Structure 1
Amino acid sequence: MAHEALSDKIETPELWNLLLRISRDALHVVIYSIVEDNSLVYRRFNLDTASSSWIGALQNVIYDNPAILSDFRRVYCVVETDKYLIVPSECESESDRCLLFGTAFPGSGLEMAVDDTATHNAIALTAIEPELRGFINRTFQRVSIVSHIASLCRYATLNGSHGNKVRMIANLHERSVDVIVIDGRRLMLANTFAYDKPDDAAYYLLAVRQRLGLDAHNDELFLAGDQACREEIMPMLRNFVARVMPIIFPPQMFKAGKEAMLVPFDLITLPLCE
């Protein structure tokens, strides 16, 4: 996607949503109207961390694109991170959550965010940099921040097949895959696996299915994310799993504009999970 600047402030921003996805190397930005079809604009900006800190690079991109600073109806912010902990939803006390968080990320200086997964049995405790959280909350009104894994959990739970059918969703990136396994509204697994070769990703998905007892003939495996990665890994998986298929792109967001197809899956689906 071209890095063309978003220079013009949005007119009637109260009718528009802003979606942000923040990773270590890029900021993905989506702006779309809730009342006008084919209005969606998508940009991916690389973060120049060679000349400034990560937060500084993020700030530079946002301030260099004034449209991002419009007073939007809603702002959805997905943070990509491998620092999260999936815990039972029965863990309700702040002290218990802090104990688990401190054990997982000792001395990190990171703050704990509690992310809803929309499942009946699990929440995500996400570690977030205080600087990042402070900057987002100061800069944007009506903003919600969520980890990428919780966003994917929400979509898998709320927009999957009905009933108690077990299904696996794999969101593929160039060097990692996010994996969600859902049984009805019960979360069986949520994890991010880093890989060097597509074969490793395929092996991991198959190993997860075997460990959790998924049926090779009946339990579906949906692939989302990077198209090239999907095309490479799908034939491997179909040798062992009968029902492997691309995830269905949400038609509500396709109506917003064709560029929606280019947006990271865990970002474009987040507004559908309210």
Structure 2
Amino acid sequence: MTQQPLDSSLIANPRLYNLILRVEPMRLDVMIYNGDEEDSIIYRSIRQDASLSQIAALEEAVYDNPVLLGDFNKITVIIATNEYAIVPQWVAADDTLADAVAEKLLVNDECESELLMIPVPETEIAVTLKPETRLLAFLRRTFNNPEITHHSVPLIRYFSKSDKLGAAGKIFVNLRSESLDIISYSNSSPNLINTFNFRDKMDAVYYILACREQLKEDGCDHEILISGNSEIRESITPVLRKYVGYVMPVIFPSTIFKAAKDTMKAPFDLIVLPLCE
């Protein structure tokens, strides 16, 4: 079935709406919503032309969906990449030190890139990444003052507050079809943040249990809470329960249940970002 473009007539007054773009190689996820209306969410996962370069495919996807070029109240771009590092915010605040640390932690020799240091609110850490300069140039000239962030940032913020009993002693796992994020907390501060690629579901189990074993040093019997891809979650949960006493799904944000059914399939970091604002 051919996707219908997101036409500019879809929204009469973009200034009343926020736009979130989630960018990863050959995939663009879009969420448009009015923060004052719970049932206003529009979500679309836009297929990109695999015969084009990443930048060219992204440009084509944006211009083929004219509503994305509207004058929105706020525009946020999530860059989804496994190539990132976590540093203290005091490192990010020192340009010379930040460059030196990034040179050791992040390698991007294939193309010209730009260092981004993204402080995570209400924590003492920053997420560092080096996106391609051409990607950032396209985003900045096409959209009005976009806020650029990394896919781990909304997850870190949301999971720290998502459990009424607190995040300490819990490991949060966010699943995608071929990768997963693992975040754990000491009190309300993250003490482990990582992203892993996997081909087999048992590899995902291995990464989760290996991280849990590493965290045993703090004396906690960590519970595991899982979000993201429901098919993989249902496959690995029975396996994890053989080794861990408490493995449960993350409670889905109630506001999303009123949105279109397809929204439930959106990447979890995109879904929870509006709840972190």
**TM score, norm. by length of structure 1:** 0.91
- Aligned pair count? 273
Instruction: Give deviations 1:184-239, integer Å, cap 9, x for gaps.
Output: 22111111111121111111111111111179995321111111111111111111
Local SS of the residue matching 1:202? helix
Identical aligned pairs, as a percentage?
A: 35
Instruction: Judge conservation of contact 1:171–1:225 (CA < 8 Å) in 2.
Output: yes
Unpaired segments of 5 or more residues in structure 1? none
Which residue matches 2:37?
Answer: 36
Local SS of the residue matching 2:8? coil
Matched, 1:138 2:141: yes
Instruction: Compute the RMSD of aligned alpha carbons.
Output: 2.2
- Aligned-partner Cα distance in 1 for 2:203–2:108: 32
Matched, 1:13 2:18: no
Instruction: Give deviations 1:85-128, integer Å, cap 9, x for gaps.
Output: 11123323111111011122356332111112335332111111
Distance 1:161 1:132, change over 3 A: farther
Distance 1:214 1:174, change over 3 A: farther
Which residue matches 2:203?
Answer: 200
Which residue matches 1:234?
Answer: 237
- Aligned-partner Cα distance in 1 for 2:40–2:94: 43
- Aligned-partner Cα distance in 2 for 1:245–1:54: 36
- Aligned-partner Cα distance in 2 for 1:258–1:166: 33
2:273 is aligned, of 262, 265, 270, to 270
- Aligned-partner Cα distance in 2 for 1:107–1:42: 32
Distance 1:178 1:30, change over 3 A: same
**TM score, norm. by length of structure 2:** 0.90
- Aligned-partner Cα distance in 2 for 1:132–1:24: 11
Matched, 1:180 2:183: yes
- Aligned-partner Cα distance in 2 for 1:153–1:165: 13
- Aligned-partner Cα distance in 2 for 1:98–1:42: 37
Instruction: Give deviations 1:121-177, integer Å, cap 9, x for gaps.
Output: 321111111111111111112421111122321222243445462211111111111
- Aligned-partner Cα distance in 1 for 2:163–2:90: 24
Local SS of the residue matching 2:102? helix
Which residue matches 2:82?
Answer: 82
Which residue matches 1:110?
Answer: 113
> What is the CA distance between 1:29 and its match in structure 2?
1.0
Unpaired segments of 5 or more residues in structure 2? none
